[in-house]
Amino acid sequence: MLRFRAAICAALSVFASALFAQDVTLKSHDGAVEIIGTLRGFDGEFYRVDTVYGELTVDGSGVTCDGPGCPNLINYVADISISGSERMAQVLMPALLEAFALRNGYAIARHDLEEGRFEYRVMQETTGELRARFRFHASNADEGFADLLADEADIAMSLREIRPEEAALGYEAGLGDMSDSNRSRVLALDGMVPVVAAGNPVSTISLVELATVFAGKVTNWKALGGPDAPISVHLEAPTSGFAQAVEDQLMRPAAQEFDANITRHSAGADLITAVERDPFAIGITNFSNTSNAKVLTLSGTCGFSLEASRRTIKTEDYPLNAPMFLYFPARRLPKLARDFLAYTRGPSAQVVIRRAGFVDQTSEEIPVNIQGDRLANAISVVGEDLTFETTQEMMATLLGKKRLTTSFRFQAGSSRLDAQSRSNVHQLARALESGRYDARRLYFVGFSDGDGPAKINRSIALKRAEAVRDAVLAAAETANPDRLLLETVAFGEAMPMACDDTSWGRQVNRRVEIWVE
């Protein structure tokens, strides 16, 4: 279905190109080089031309343009098309765009178009001269990726990672490797949380129980320690990127499928309203969108529990994280768009993200004295295989230091970092380049699950810590190595965050933490 839909979009794109794209001739100033083709885009600096040799990107400063499709070089207006997640389009992106304009001396105005479409016009504040149009198509992740494939969008917004079949279609369409970290960006963080009405007596639920409820295999609250009443299950529409992320992170690891009788909602706000009004309802929603509903704590059979909070979402200690992504193809965007994307990674943008109700990516320091639950977990797992001496060694190493919320975890069954962690590599690299941790010692601390001998687990955890350190150093190209104090250490299964009896728990426990002295 996806391939057919992408093919239709590509055909429509070709049809649209025939209507709007124009032939141009680019000539070098000495007349030695001439390129003839169809103009696909101009970013104010570079032409993008479809030629008999394929798509070429040509520096505009070295050529003259002749033909009906040539852009106005004097009064150039950047045109950026952004498509995908409605929640990102209606809330997060406008907040960031307006803050970016204010910070850089631009005036900005929103113009609503047909349903689901609007644009922001960015103007020079002093002259009123139009500098850019940011055109938005507020829909869902499927539409965003389809528009990207059809060359109808420059940026896709998504509440889930791109899927392998979408990335394959993107590669075939010449967009580059869309699964590569250079082709995406985590803009903000969020989490998936189970919610019930405020009066519901149930306070905890395991991930296995949650998956079986949404699969329709547990249908009565009595099975979850609640009243003898049927469970009413609520989720966003199947086309929602958030619902698809729930499928990817909750249902697939449990080898479950959504029950066909789930009540679906077109918007998260509608879901919350329905759950709040029904004492026997349960839903999964964004951490940023819980309103007055009661959030259930995730529990495990071993007694460990995981509660969603801004801090546990940042650290990924909470297992159902939901990063908010931007995806862009392997081509240059207009300079003003590049400036905006650079702004979204800065500290002032993180304040905007937090004020908009989402979880920002600013690294925080967590003292040991407020990590009581984690230390209790460490003591509880001391046994025949894991000695008390290992726990003592860990405590002696970490005493007097602070844990950063910047953490690193891996995709299930893989040595590849997950999406949020890949973003954290670049976040920490930029911090090193800026000198934020100059003269402070950073420890890359590896931990593992408890599956297997403790000695082997500790060795594996150390290799992971070294791999993360190397990735951060490779990304921190302009950092001064003489001012970096980086160490790697590992304690294996000595400080579990979750129970090891599920794939989610093991994935949470396999991590690399950053501690600072």
Residue with tokens 């019930």: 196
**DSSP E strand boundaries for 17-148:** 23-28, 34-42, 46-51, 54-59, 63-66, 78-85, 106-112, 117-124, 130-139
Identity of the residue numbered 129: E
Q: What does the alpha-carbon distance between residue 50 and residue 37 come to, in Å, rounded to a whole number?
A: 5
What pLDDT is attached to residue 6? 41
- End-to-end Cα separation, the chain, in angstroms: 53
Domains of the chain: 23-69 (2.30.30), 79-184+329-342 (3.40.190), 192-314 (3.40.190.10), 363-516 (3.30.1330.60)
Q: What does the alpha-carbon distance between residue 493 and residue 382 come to, in Å, rounded to a whole number?
A: 10
**pLDDT at 10 > cutoff 60:** no
295-328 pLDDT per residue, tens: 999 998 888 889 999 999 999 999 999 999 999 9
Give how far Cα 96 sits from Cα of 101, 423, 458, Å.
9, 18, 42
- Confidence at 16, pLDDT banded by 50, 70, 90: very low
480-498 pLDDT per residue, tens: 988 999 999 999 998 888 8
Among the listed residues 22, 160, 6, the one whose alpha carbon sits nearest the alpha carbon of residue 85: 160
The one-character DSSP state at 89 is I
Helix (H) or strand (E) holding 273: helix 268-277
**DSSP E strand boundaries for 339-472:** 365-367, 402-409, 441-447
115-156 pLDDT per residue, tens: 899 999 999 999 999 999 999 999 999 999 999 999 899 999
- 66 CB contacts (<8 Å, ≥6 apart)? 24, 25, 26, 27
Identity of the residue numbered 198: A
